[in-house]
Amino acid sequence: MIRENQLKRKLQRGGVVLGLFVNCSYPGFVEICGHAGFDFVIIDLEHGPLHPLVAEDLCRAADSVGISPLVRVGKNDSWQIQRALDIGSAGVQVPQIETQTDAQSCVKSAKFNPLGARGLSFYTRAGVYTAAGAQITDKLNEESLVVIHVEGIRGVENLAEIVSVPHIDVIFLGPYDLSQSLGIPGQVRDSRVVDLMHQCIDTIRSAGKVVGTFADNPETAKQWIDAGIQYIALGVDVGIFLRACQGLVRAVRPES
C-alpha cells in the first residue's frame, strides 16, 4: 500500500509545516522529531555523512511516528534522485537549481512516465517490494514531493522561468548559499540577503508555488512565515544538540 503524503496535503491546503535537517544516523532521533511535533525531516545526503542504506532506516523511523521523510541528494543527478525515492521517502530535495533546464531535469528524474523518465523497479521499498502490484506509478507520481533549492544569484536571475516548470511542489531558498553568492558568506540577516529573499518569495507565490527556507531559530522562522513561507526547516539535528548541551554546561558552570 502506498502511503498518502500528508505533508503534501498540508501544503496544498495552505498550511505551514516545520521540519529539520538530519545528519545523525540514529533512527531514534527521527522518532523523537515526530514525538516533538515536527511535520517532516530532511535526511541530508549532501552535507551530511549519511549513506542511502542508513537513510532508508531513517525513513522507516519517520513513517513509524507519522512524519514525512525527505531526502536531500548531493546534486541534480538522476541516479541520486531515483535512489532517494526508491528507499521510500516522501520526496526529494535537490540543491543548486539555476535554470529552467535544471528544474525540468529534476522533475524528469523524480517522476515516472508520462510525467518523467524515472527508472522503474517495483522491487524497492517505494514499490512495497512488489506487494503493491504493478499499477502504482501514477500513485507514486501523485504522492512524491519535489523540492528544489534556489540558492545562488544565477538561480534568482532565472527564477521566473524556473517557477513555470510543472510538478515542482516547493522552491526552497537557501539563505546561506545566497549570502555566499552575494559575497557576504554567512551573513544571512544582512539586508541584501533579506531583500533578495523577499523578492524571490513574491515571484514564487505569484506562480502558485510553495516557498521553503531554512531558519536557525524560532524568531527567524516566524519572520519568514509572516512573509509567506510555508515550508520551514528549523535547524539541523547536530546544531540543536550542540546548543542544548551548551545550555546544560553553562547552567552548571557559567564560566564555560
0.75 exceeded by the pTM? yes
Quote the mean pLDDT of the chain. 95
Which grid coordinates are listed for 28?
531514534
Question: What ranges in the chain are assigned the alpha helix state H?
Answer: 6-12, 27-36, 52-64, 78-86, 100-110, 137-143, 153-157, 159-162, 175-181, 191-206, 218-226, 237-252
Of the candidates 85, 94, 97, 88, the residue with the CA atom closest to the CA atom of residue 62: 88
- Residue 255 confidence (pLDDT) above 90: no
Which grid coordinates are listed for 65?
511516528
Using CB atoms within 10 Å of the CB of residue 13, give its burial: 0 to 12 exposed, 13 to 18 middle, 19+ buried: exposed
The confidence score (pLDDT) of residue 3 equals 81
- Residue 151 confidence (pLDDT) above 70: yes
pLDDT category at 18 given cuts 50, 70, 90 is very high
Which grid coordinates are listed for 240?
540543536
Kindly state the average pLDDT of the residues 48-62.
96
- Residue 256 confidence (pLDDT) above 80: no
**Lowest mean pLDDT across 13-22, 55-64, 128-137:** 128-137
Q: Maximum distance among all alpha carbons in the chain?
A: 63
pLDDT category at 133 given cuts 50, 70, 90 is low
Three-class SS of 170-196: EEEECHHHHHHHCCCCCCCCCHHHHHH
Superfamily for the 6-252 domain: Phosphoenolpyruvate-binding domains (3.20.20.60)
Q: Each residue of 181-232: pLDDT tens digit?
A: 999 999 999 999 999 999 999 999 999 999 999 999 999 999 999 999 999 9
Which grid coordinates are listed for 21?
535537517
Residues 6+ apart with CB under 8 A from 109: 76, 77, 78, 81, 82, 116, 117, 118
Using CB atoms within 10 Å of the CB of residue 67, give its burial: 0 to 12 exposed, 13 to 18 middle, 19+ buried: buried
Dihedral of CA atoms 104, 107, 111, 113 in degrees, nearest 10, equals -10
- Residue 39 confidence (pLDDT) above 90: yes
The confidence score (pLDDT) of residue 16 equals 98
Please say whether the beta carbons of 50 and 80 come within 8 A: no
Question: Taking the domains of the chain in order of start, what are their residue ranges?
Answer: 6-252
- Residue 89 confidence (pLDDT) above 80: yes
Three-state SS for 146?
strand
